[in-house]
Amino acid sequence: MTISRLTLQNFRNYPQLRLDASPGFNVLSGDNGAGKTNILEAVSLLSPGRGLRRAALKDMAYEHSGGDFAVAAALDDVQLGTGTTTDHPERRKTRVNGAAVPTNDLAQWLSILWLTPAMDRLFMEGATGRRNFLDRLVTALEPDHARNCSRYDAARRERNRLLADDHLPNPKWLDALDDQLASFGAMAAQARRRIVETLNQALTLTDKGLFAAAQLHLEDDGLHDRAKLFEILQSNQQADRAAGRTRHGPHRADLTVFHSAKQQAAEKCSTGEQKALLFSIILAHADLIAGQRGQRPILLIDEVAAHLDPGRRTALFETLAKKGGQVWLTGTEAELFEAIPADAFHFKVHEGTATQY
C-alpha cells in the first residue's frame, strides 16, 4: 500500500497542504527551512509512535493555529487520519475511514521506515534511541508489537508510581502489575528477538553492494522469558522501592550492531560506515517486510546528500528502483536526484508550499 494523496492542516509550517504522491519516488527539494523534513515527519505520523523527530504534539501544530493539527492520507482504498484537537492538543487521535481507532492500529495499514541525519548519532548515544529504532523495525513486521510496548510502558509507569508511594495501600496491586509487566514485556522481548534473528539471516543473504554488512545483537538479560521476568520483578520489589523505579526488564534492553567485514562494533566505525550499516539494515528489513507482509514499506530518507557520496547515492537509487515501493527523499538541490532511474514526482518546497514540477 502506498499513499496516493497527503493532506496537512495546521501541521508545522503548513497551514494547508495537499500533495498527490507517486507510488514510487517522491522527491522534495528546497532551501533550508523550506519544510521538507516537516513533510516526512507528517508521513511518519501515519505509523504508531512519536514520528521521526520524536517531538511533542504541541510543537507539531502550526504556531499560528489553535494548537490542533491534522495529517491525512488516502491509500488505495483506505483513508487514514491522525492529529490533535484544540480541546486535547496533547493527545493524538486516529481515524481509519472516518472511524476512531487506537493510534497503534496504523501499523496494520502501513509499514514506514526512515533514515534521518539525526540517526547518525544512534550508535554513539544511549540505548533508548537504539531500542526505539529496533521497536520500529519490529512493529513494521509485527504490528501487535506497538500495542504490547504501550501496555508494558503503561504498567511500568503505574508500577513506578506505586513504588514511589510511601504508603502502598495494597501490596497485591504491585503483584498484579508485575504480572502485566511480565506478560507484555515478555511478548515484546520475544518479538524483538525474532526480528533480530530473521534480520541477521536476511543480512547475510542480501547483496551489500556499496553498503556494509551488519549483524545485530540484542542484550536483554534473558528477560524474554515470562516466568523469569515475573520472578525478577517480584524479587526486586523491595530494592525497586528503594530506588523508586523498576530497574530490570525489557525497557532496559539494548541493540548492538557489528560491522561484519571489519569485525568491529558500530560505535567504533567511521560516521560513513555507520550510515552504511543503517542503510544495510533498513534495506534488508524492507525486503523482509515485502516477503512477510506482501507489500514494501514506505521509506523516508531525509537529506540523502548528508548520508551518501554520489556513488553510493546512485547505487541506492538503483536498488530502490529495482525493488519498487514508495520512497520519499529530500535534499536541498534537485540535481542530487538526477540519477534516479525511474519516473519520480518532483516537488519544489518553498515556505509552506510544495509544488510538483
Ligand X SMILES: Nc1ncnc2c1ncn2[C@@H]1O[C@H](COP(=O)(O)OP(=O)(O)OP(=O)(O)O)[C@@H](O)[C@H]1O
Give least dist CB 311 to ligand X, A.
Answer: 23
33 contributes a contact to ligand X by CB under 6 A:
yes
Sort strands 264-265 and 298-301 into parallel, antiparallel or unpaired: unpaired
Cα–Cα distance measured from residue 357 to residue 345, given in angstroms and rounded to the nearest whole number: 8
**Which grid cell sits at 109?**
495499514
Cα distances from 6 to residues 71, 111, 149, 158, 180, in angstroms, run 7, 16, 28, 37, 38
89 contributes a contact to ligand X by CB under 6 A:
no
User: CA gyration radius for the chain?
Assistant: 21
Closest C-alpha to 301, from 329, 326, 332: 329
Q: Which of 2, 26, 37, 116 binds ligand X (CB under 6 A)?
A: 37
Q: Yes or no: say if 137 and 285 are a contact pair by the CB < 8 Å rule.
A: yes
**Three-class DSSP category at 301:** strand
Q: Which of 30, 49, 143, 325 binds ligand X (CB under 6 A)?
A: 30
203 contributes a contact to ligand X by CB under 6 A:
no
- Contact region with ligand X (CB under 6 A), list: 27-35, 135-143, 190-198, 317-325: 27-35
Q: Which is nearer to Mg ion, 37 or 280 (CB)?
A: 37
Q: Yes or no: say if 142 and 190 are a contact pair by the CB < 8 Å rule.
A: no
84 contributes a contact to ligand X by CB under 6 A:
no
Give least dist CB 330 to Mg ion, A.
Answer: 6
353 contributes a contact to ligand X by CB under 6 A:
no
Closest C-alpha to 11, from 47, 43, 48, 49: 43
**Three-class DSSP category at 312:** helix
Q: Yes or no: say if 202 and 217 are a contact pair by the CB < 8 Å rule.
A: no
Site string for Mg ion, 17-56 (x = CB under 5 A): -------------------xx-------------------
326 contributes a contact to Mg ion by CB under 5 A:
no
Q: Which of 3, 19, 21, 34 binds ligand X (CB under 6 A)?
A: 34
- Contact region with ligand X (CB under 6 A), list: 31-39, 138-146, 163-171, 208-216: 31-39
301 contributes a contact to ligand X by CB under 6 A:
no
Binding site for Mg ion (CB under 5 A): 36-37
Q: Name the site residues for ligand X (rule: CB under 6 A).
A: 12-13, 30, 32-38, 59, 61-63, 332, 349
